[in-house]
Structure 1
Amino acid sequence: MAIPKLQAYALPGESDIPANKVGWAFEPERAALLIHDMQDYFVSFWGENCPMMEQVIANIAALRQFCKAHHIPVFYTAQPKEQSDADRALLNDMWGPGLTRSPEQQQVVEALAPDDDDVVLVKWRYSAFHRSPLEQMLKESGRDQLIITGVYAHIGCMTTATDAFMRDIKPFMVADALADFSREEHLMALKYVAGRSGRVVLSRELLPAPVPASRADLRAAILPLLDESEEPLDDENLIDYGLDSVRMMALAARWRKVHGDIDFVMLAKNPTIDAWWQLLSREVR
């Protein structure tokens, strides 16, 4: 009845993306990001230090970072830690008490923690739209595209995508920013959405070019991630200007798609624009 212990698997890649029936263009000015149920409770079923989940979190963090830089609203769903039997209703029959017995795991994972500008929706059923103001908030802000990330792909994420479609909101299911009980169920969810209710994409399709083309482009990509109003010099430590580990991890995930040896440790060792440009301007082998 409860969620079982989960095993890591290979995340979907280019060859796993099903044929989409629709060719909707991604339009940032019309989009919003949904980070679905990425609470400690749900992520914990893969255990600690799961490489697959670290990659999923990094991909979501990269998308969130992009959205923040482009003024795209970010929404979260999170089950409450206190749920009465009336509130859970049939969920009790299917999944047991859920978070009610693990209130200490109610928080969104630290690497994706929402800030004051984000909206956290109370999650009552599979769909993020159920008993929530999500539809109204999207329409009021002129947004009719929803980027869907999180867990679990074949349950809440797929249901939310279908519900969005029924409300004339275009869902974009991000294949490598989702996780599921198994690879088979993950791929099933992608196939259903691609053929019935949305468009399935990889995270890189929604993000700008993974590697800046110049030092100036690198600086332009870094500045929105800093907390300080004063700009750093190229040889100054970016951490001193407010660059945190979550944003650095997201940058590493993006740049690793071109330079496979780049990781968080490499960036954190010398966090300056000069040092990072030396890494990024290397010839790709």
Structure 2
Amino acid sequence: MRSFGPGGTGDGPERSRRDPLTGTLAERVSALLGREVRRAARAGSSHDWTLSYAELADGTRLFVKSLARGAEPTGVLVAEARGLEWLGRCFGSPAIAPLGWDSHLLVLPWIEQREPTPAAADRLGRQLAGTHLTGADGFGADWTGYIGPLPLDNTPSRDWPRFYAEQRLRPYLRQALDQGALTPADARAVEKVVDSVEELAGEPEPPARVHGDLWNGNVLWRERDAVLIDPAAHGGHREADLAMLALFGLPYLDRVRDAYNEVAPLSSGWRGRVALHQLHPLLVHVCLFGAAYRTTALEAARTAYRAG
């Protein structure tokens, strides 16, 4: 059983009373939250940041992400915190709310994980539908985005096909080519999709309030429900979150989807667009992990194009 997590109210950089690069981790978290931290211990690392556990003097346990000492802040932790807060402004949102953050630290509640249950899956489906229906002002967001450690162009747009083609597909196709993870011949299969998104997208939908990186690992199951962590939140297409849940497999996915459909029925033809929405995260994986994801990304591109 893994135990770690997210949740709370973000207080922002103004709460930090010391240079975030000085002191022990416990002292830095204490300064950020304005509460005594009894201890903190490193738990591992992910991408460019360190993962740690901390405990307040009253026994409350915390999960902490921190950038390495001397690291130039990229904005990745601030983007995650702002995304969690934005998702949390929905009634019954399943997203964890941050306890506090600055450019070097992000503090979240510790989540005691349990085995998933059908009832928790039903609740997650309904909550995700409610979050999506809360909507967004447009496609994108008013903060610089990240997906994992990679920048994510959140420049607002009113046109989802153009937004998806130019801000979610083309940048990562270009990066994969530059890195040599995809060949020019590979790129042509993806470019067909990029050039045809308008025809492949289905009926227009209003901007949904999406998690943006909703793979199985970002769903933490609790006793009666599930919570969502590590978003790349933005105004997007609601089918993208559901497609990503399917990409790497989620327990009781059919239950989640059925409960979702009871609240916010998916548009006709959504099954044929799953590969289209999976292409973006697969290109991100190609950029992060190399050619190991090349075949899967190309299969998604060909499937998405054929479906149109």
Q: TM-score, normalised by structure 1?
A: 0.27
Higher relative contact order (CA 8 A, sep 6+): 1
Q: TM-score, normalised by structure 2?
A: 0.26
